[in-house]
Amino acid sequence: MNISEKFKMAYLLPVFIAFFVMGFVDIVGVSTSYVKSDFALNDTLANLLPMMVFVWFAICSIPTGVLMGRIGRKKMVLYSLALTSLSMILPLLGYSFPVVLVAFMLLGISNTMLQVSLNPLLMDMIRPERVTSMITLGNFVKAISSTLGPLIVSMAVGKFQNWHLIFSVYAILSLFSFLCLLPVRTEETKFVEIQKGISSIWGLLKSSKMLLIFSVILLSVGFEIGLMTTVPKYLVERCSSPIAEASIGCSVYFVGRTLGTFLGSFLFTRFNAKRMMTWSVLGGIIFMGLFLILSNLIGMMVLLFFIGLTCANIFPFVFSQGLQTNREKANEASALMIMGVAGGAILPVFMGMMADASNQCFSLLLPLAVLVYIWIALYKI
């Protein structure tokens, strides 16, 4: 490793702290169940909360990519961390349904900015052959954050009977991440290819591979957010569990996902990543089918762990494929792919309507169908 590479590696820690902040967006899953209970909402209305978060990935991803080409990746990450802090402060000033909607709207915008800019910033700090493993490691850190979120909520409810104290924890951590990254000097790659704006980003979809990658990202995020939004309500419906206990199901899923991304960060450098992913997602389909059949709480928790484990690396694998396919257009490719995160706004709305029309189990057939599509698509990426 030369001096320049050592210099870059020394500054990876603040970047991975920012990956931890990226995981804050996943709290919307467990939050939906509490907001529904607090304000006596039906499923369709309650599921507007994840929509309020993830719709901004569709609206803001491309403008963020264009702006990032002008101001730089590090500045965009810093702006996103500052906005995350602000979004988490709002519910502490006054807890009401409109305030929660605005807070999660800002969280969605800031997380869009963060996801568009952070992966390309990381890519500037590592060698090309390490892109897949390091992005997977970043998602491992993000998964730790996602796992801790529901646990912190459960502790807040148990000790203070006030679940939204999670916002104060997230506000402090976001500010801490901002302060850690602020003094870091980065060497951002200056490509010969000049940023061409929106037309350059949409032009990437002319590639059939990028179109398929985009669809998998759209549906994989929709799968996870739809599942996490529905799991607490489903466990209440299926097992008559208290909502605080049912919400632990989200953490169990994220524990599996955390382990999966940790293992993936090593295994992707040693084995055929595509073959690993196809077998892993097939396992996810089987575990998801069993989850819909069982009615034993412990057994269902175990299956949630394995669903998280087997589906953990879909996003980092596909995202890294998109970046490496378009390495000289990393800003544009990142913006396009992060736009696909808007899938988290789409699937939960349809699942809410399906649940209101029938039950929570019926709504979970949609994530199962999505997994089948992803498994088939992986053979062609």
What residue type is assigned to position 215 of the chain? S
| Cα→Cα distances 125→28, 139, 284, Å | 31, 16, 33
Quick check: is 4 in a domain?
no
What residue type is assigned to position 103 of the chain? A
Quick check: is 256 in a domain?
yes
The region that residue 187 occupies, defined by phi over 0 for left and psi between -120 and 50 for alpha, beta otherwise, is beta
Q: Share the mean pLDDT of the chain.
A: 84
Residue 112 reports pLDDT greater than 70: yes
pLDDT of residue 2: 47
Q: Could you count the other beta carbons within 10 Å of the beta carbon of residue 244?
A: 17
Lowest mean pLDDT among 56-65, 70-79, 153-162: 153-162
Quick check: is 6 in a domain?
no
pLDDT of residue 193: 42
Residue 153 reports pLDDT greater than 90: no
Q: Residue holding tokens 């792919």?
A: 337
Alpha helices in 10-47, H assignment, sequence order: 12-22, 28-39, 43-46
Quick check: is 71 in a domain?
yes
Number of domains in the chain: 1
Which of 92-101, 333-342, 370-379 is most confident? 370-379
Quick check: is 177 in a domain?
yes
Residue 345 reports pLDDT greater than 60: yes
* Averaged pLDDT, 129-145: 78
pLDDT of residue 25: 85
Quick check: is 349 in a domain?
yes
Residues 234, 214, 147, 56, CA torsion sign: negative
| 262 three-class SS | helix
Residue 41 reports pLDDT greater than 60: yes
pLDDT of residue 283: 95
* Averaged pLDDT, 117-137: 75
What residue type is assigned to position 300 of the chain? M
pLDDT-derived band at 128, boundaries 50, 70, 90: low
Domain residues for the domain of 153 are 11-182+197-378
Indicate the angle between helix axes 97-123 and 314-325, nearest 10 degrees: 50
Single out the residue of 136, 41, 144, 169 nearest to residue 98, CA to CA: 41
CATH at residue 374: 1.20.1250.20
* Averaged pLDDT, 46-75: 84
pLDDT of residue 31: 84
Q: Could you count the other beta carbons within 10 Å of the beta carbon of residue 71?
A: 12
Rounded-to-integer distance, Cα 211 and Cα 265, Å: 25
Quick check: is 43 in a domain?
yes
Q: Could you count the other beta carbons within 10 Å of the beta carbon of residue 70?
A: 10
pLDDT of residue 3: 42
For every residue of 330-354, DSSP letters joined together read: HHHHHHHHHHGGGHHHHHHHHHHHH
| Cα→Cα distances 118→16, 21, 25, 316, Å | 9, 11, 15, 13
* Averaged pLDDT, 228-235: 88
pLDDT of residue 192: 37
Task: Give the Cα-Cα-Cα angle 81, 8, 264 (nearest 5 degrees).
Answer: 75
Quick check: is 145 in a domain?
yes
DSSP letter, residue 124: T
Which tens digit of pLDDT belongs to each residue from 272-310?
878 889 999 999 999 999 999 998 999 999 999 999 999
pTM: 0.74
